[in-house]
Amino acid sequence: MEVVTGKAAFPGIAIGKVAWYSRGRYQKDKRTAKDVLQEKRILRQNVREVLDYLNRAALSTIPEVEKTIRQQAEILQGEYYLPAVLEVIEQQKVTASYAVQITRDEMMTTFKELSDPAIKRRIQDIREISSMLLGSLAQSGSSLDFGEEPVILVSDMLYPSDIIEMKKEKILSLVTRQGSEISHAAIMAKTMDVPALFDVPGTRDWEGHYAIVDGYTGNLYLDPSNELIHEYELRQSEDKKEREELLKLRTAEDVTLSGQRIGLYANIGSMDDMNSALYYGAEGIGLLRSEFQYLNRADYPKEDELYLEYRRVAQGMKGKICVIRTADLGADKQSDYMQIPEEMNPIMGNRGIRLSLDRKNMFKAQLKAIYRASAFGNLAVLFPMITSLEEMDQIDKILKEVKDGLRKKRVPFRDIPIGIMVETPAAVLIADELARRVDFLSIGTNDLTQYTLAMDRQNPSLKRKYDDHHPAVLAMIRMTVEAGHRHNCKVYICGEIAADTALTETFLRLGVDALSVVPACILPVRRQVRKTAL
């Protein structure tokens, strides 16, 4: 037996076989079809789902957009596109997803030199329906598959785009050589509610070996003895009992022993996460990370696609608020089609609101989708990475254009609350001015900490020096809360330390109005709130 010690990013115990993940390995493997007839059935099923989506979208949009949607549905049902994809599956023995990509690329190459406007529109339609099909295929099971049994996934490094492709039910634990407890991969592991370790010197040789992951101590046991397996199975059973005890708090109020109330919300990135938030009794969604809708695609999502997704969330929350953060793209959250220039220091680069303001068509499409969906539920919009009043001026101008355009077309919407992320010392220092212009401030402590300490939170050589409990970080939070409250502006914390129960009392004493955490952390934080007396 070999014992390897790393750092725990999320608690829990996992027992199972190891699968070694290297970027591109499984993506390459999934090109070859094991069963051609099955791939054809999968394709036809997903074509029906996309057609159903298009028909619903056509009924719920304005006439100009409806015409385009109808044309896309005609292409999908026509005599050229679908037969071409089926032929690629048959002749090349590839998966439905890969066949869609091949067909799309061949058609784009064939017609790209033609200047006829009608042909150009047809090319755009082909690109869009291919993106929709690929998205549908990913959701229906063409995502990364590591075999029949769930696995402990070990890797050098994981990116959000990797995890999005994975089947959650096939992951027992995530273990990486690099990263940190607040890396995006660790955050997504928490959302998946699986134990996670980082700083573990795993190798490809571990593939297929049996292992135990202890998300409390940070230990990984490779080829454990039967006695140790039995001991950890008992610990898993105790874990389950504690979770069942916590579940009794699902409907409990978030009130301290001394009567102080705090809002407890959820951070989510998908509809599955929304269901978990409701299950654990979140007061609402404090942060919907919309950037995940832009990853692992061939092109930007269109307004109608975003609108339907946001409408599902608005309706699914049944009157509870859902705060949609506009796409926080850049740094490690990007796809090839975005063509974001390579940067020397992407963490400090063109990301968040900076990128959105540079790509106004993308930004406006998302804002239109959010405002259209607001007619169906309780939504709010949140802007990431604000550092100046000039950015707010640009946002206000774009919001006016978007709302004026919707009014002109008589599209119903609500004037929803507006918030900004406080993630930089610059935002903290002008928090008074910012609070005058918005309805709420949401403190993103992950970025605020790294910018305050001037430390890259994902730099492995700094992990022992990185301190999100640093007095300077807590001072930044206090300054933001005080500035917000001076202007009747509510202040939330949505960074990872919102779930740190060692700081719950501190946040309550600072006067923070709400905490937003991953769904799996709602009940532990609720328990801590309820046993705190100020």
Residue 379, domain CATH: 3.20.20.60
Q: Which of 142, 174, 189 is the last residue of a domain?
A: 142
CB atoms closer than 10 angstroms to residue 56: 13
In a domain, 243, yes or no: no
Cα(115)–Cα(223) distance, integer angstroms = 63
Same domain, yes or no: 421 and 498: yes
Residue 451: pLDDT over 80: yes
Of 153-167, 366-380, 482-496, the least confident: 153-167
What pLDDT sits at residue 426?
96
Average predicted confidence (pLDDT) for the chain? 87
CB atoms closer than 10 angstroms to residue 226: 7
Same domain, yes or no: 99 and 176: no
Higher pLDDT, 358 or 113: 358
Same domain, yes or no: 15 and 149: yes
Same domain, yes or no: 295 and 344: yes
The token pair that represents 291 in the structure block: 């950037």
Which residues sit opposite 212 in a β-bridge? Answer: 15, 221
> Taking the model in full, what pTM does it have?
0.71
What pLDDT sits at residue 28?
45
Residue 61: pLDDT over 50: yes
Same domain, yes or no: 285 and 367: yes
Tens of pLDDT along 134-179?
Answer: 767 765 544 566 777 899 999 888 776 677 667 778 889 999 888 7
The structural domain count of the chain equals 3
- φ, ψ of residue 28 to 5 degrees: the values are -70, -45
Choosing from 322, 489, 494, 521, the catalytic residue is 494
Which residues sit opposite 197 in a β-bridge? Answer: 8, 175
What pLDDT sits at residue 414?
96
Tens of pLDDT along 250-306?
Answer: 999 999 999 999 999 999 987 778 888 999 999 999 999 998 888 877 778 889 889
Same domain, yes or no: 168 and 275: no
In a domain, 242, yes or no: no
In a domain, 124, yes or no: yes
∠125-129-133 over CA atoms, to 5°?
Answer: 170
In a domain, 411, yes or no: yes
Tens of pLDDT along 338-352?
Answer: 888 888 777 788 899
Same domain, yes or no: 323 and 458: yes
Higher pLDDT, 364 or 45: 364
Choosing from 184, 322, 489, 521, the catalytic residue is 184
Same domain, yes or no: 509 and 463: yes
CB 179 within 8 A of CB 155: no
Range among 196-200, 280-284, 453-457, 465-469 with highest mean pLDDT value: 280-284
Which among 494, 476, 487, 358 is positioned nearest to 424, based on CA atoms? 476
Residue 334: pLDDT over 90: no
Residue 232: pLDDT over 80: yes
489 classed as catalytic: no
Cα(146)–Cα(27) distance, integer angstroms = 11
Q: Which of 233, 263, 293 is the last residue of a domain?
A: 233
What pLDDT sits at residue 434?
97
In a domain, 403, yes or no: yes
Burial of 67 by CB count in 10 Å (0-12 exposed, 13-18 middle, 19+ buried)? exposed
Mind giving me the DSSP string for 121-169?
HHHHHHHHHHHHHHHHHIIIIISB---SS-EEEEES---HHHHHTB-GG
Same domain, yes or no: 325 and 406: yes
Full domain range(s) for residue 211:
2-28+145-233
Burial of 259 by CB count in 10 Å (0-12 exposed, 13-18 middle, 19+ buried)? exposed
| 3-class DSSP state of 18 | strand
Straight-line distance from the first to the last Cα atom of the chain, in angstroms, rounded to the nearest whole number: 48
Residue 383: pLDDT over 70: yes
Same domain, yes or no: 132 and 269: no
What pLDDT sits at residue 256?
95
Higher pLDDT, 88 or 192: 88
184 classed as catalytic: yes
The token pair that represents 64 in the structure block: 């100009």
Same domain, yes or no: 194 and 314: no
Q: Which of 86, 113, 142 is the last residue of a domain?
A: 142
| Residues with Cβ within 8 Å of residue 519, at least 6 apart in sequence | 191, 193, 266, 267, 268, 273, 276, 277, 279, 280, 282
Same domain, yes or no: 124 and 171: no
Higher pLDDT, 141 or 464: 464
The token pair that represents 398 in the structure block: 């774009």
